[in-house]
Copies of this chain bind each other. A is one copy, B any other.
């Protein structure tokens, strides 16, 4: 889903500046969507031209001024139309699994290091999600489900990786000795 649509969605949850939207992405959606300033600000200006959002400029002292965006009825309509056509797709890309595919080409110490980093990353993500679900009783049912979904995946992956670490290392060492000392 493109940044334009995602911005409309965030604004449906409440008025916000571009900076606020970026924070929302980081705090609430980072486990399944991402967007940078370089795509958020142009998206907001484009949506404004199209009448999908409006904004008011707010002066602040001791802080730079900000543009607070609101979704318009047209914007709401368009977002709903997009949602009604959207397919529930998912995509997963992993350099970790590329590394594992070629595990037999890596020095054993490096392989151990990679698995340990991955374990740490999975645990870190799990901790973040656990915290979101505990602290925020204000979460809507749908949002709570997205967090549970992330937790389920991370838990399963953490468990598998932990359980298989030693046996995987052994299997790869075995493949090395199989193919001989050469190479």
Contacts and interface: CB of A to CB of B under 8 A. Distances in A.
Interface of A: 1, 6, 9, 12, 29, 31-34, 80, 83-84, 86-106, 110, 114, 117-118, 121, 140-143, 145-146, 148-149, 152-153, 155-157, 159-161, 164, 168, 171-172, 174-175
Nearest to A147: B97
B94 A89 contact: yes
A16 to B, nearest CB: 15
A155 B12 CA distance: 33
A29 B101 contact: yes
Contact of A88 (B6, B95, B153, B175): B95
Copies of this chain present: 2
B102 A172 contact: no
A67 to B, nearest CB: 24
Contact of A101 (B9, B95, B104, B118): B9
The 4 A-B residue pairs with the shortest CB-CB distance in the complex, in nearest-first order: A156-B156, A103-B142, A141-B171, A88-B96
A10 B32 CA distance: 28
23 contacts: A1-B98, A9-B98, A9-B101, A12-B102, A32-B93, A33-B94, A83-B99, A83-B102, A83-B105, A83-B106, A84-B110, A86-B95, A87-B95, A88-B99, A88-B121, A89-B94, A92-B153, A102-B142, A104-B141, A141-B172, A141-B174, A152-B159, A152-B160
Given A145-B168, A157-B152, A172-B141, A114 B99 contact: no
